Structure 1
Amino acid sequence: MPTETCQFFYECNNCKRVIRPKEGDCCVFCSYGTVACPSIQESSGCCR
């Protein structure tokens, strides 16, 4: 994943439900992924 990439919304290909980051998280990777987004991993803050 490129380090300048964040995803604020994700639409499920199967059910078409759109998920958003949980309160306090900067992107869906931080909320639902197995690892934090690249910006958090590099300690450069949220990816905004």
Structure 2
Amino acid sequence: MAEPELASTITCPECGHSKDETMPTDTCQWFYDCKGCGTVLKPKAGDCCVYCSYATVPCPPVQATGSKSCCG
């Protein structure tokens, strides 16, 4: 099994600010403070975390399973 990609670019839907981040492998990230405008991002309905909603690469558990949800 391939190692998950941990680098992802998260983009704020409010101001468009983008930032390269390293995703955690041991927890879901349900909140993210935009470094541009300060908006607190939360996952969209049906997504498990902010990376699955607003980033270029989904979170590591979703990469591994191909499922849309990784957190219970």
TM over 0.5: yes
Normalising by the smaller structure, the TM-score range is: 0.7 to 0.9
Structure 2, unaligned runs of 5 or more: 1-22
| Counterpart Cα distance in 1 of 2:24 and 2:47 | 19
Q: Hey, which bits of structure 1, 4+ residues long, moved more than 4 A?
A: none
Distance 1:16 1:23, change over 3 A: same
Total equivalences in the alignment: 48
Structure 2 residue 51 is the aligned partner of structure 1 residue 17: no
Q: Which has the larger radius of gyration?
A: 2
Specify which of 55, 58, 70 is matched with residue 33 of structure 1.
55
Percent identity of equivalent pairs: 60
Q: TM-score, normalised by structure 2?
A: 0.56
The answer as to whether partners of 1:4 and 1:38 remain within 8 angstroms in 2 is no
Structure with more of its chain in strand, by fraction = 2
Alignment RMSD: 1.9
Q: TM-score, normalised by structure 1?
A: 0.78
Deviation per CA, 1:2-47, whole angstroms, max 9, x where unpaired? 4223210011122111110000000000001111100111117513
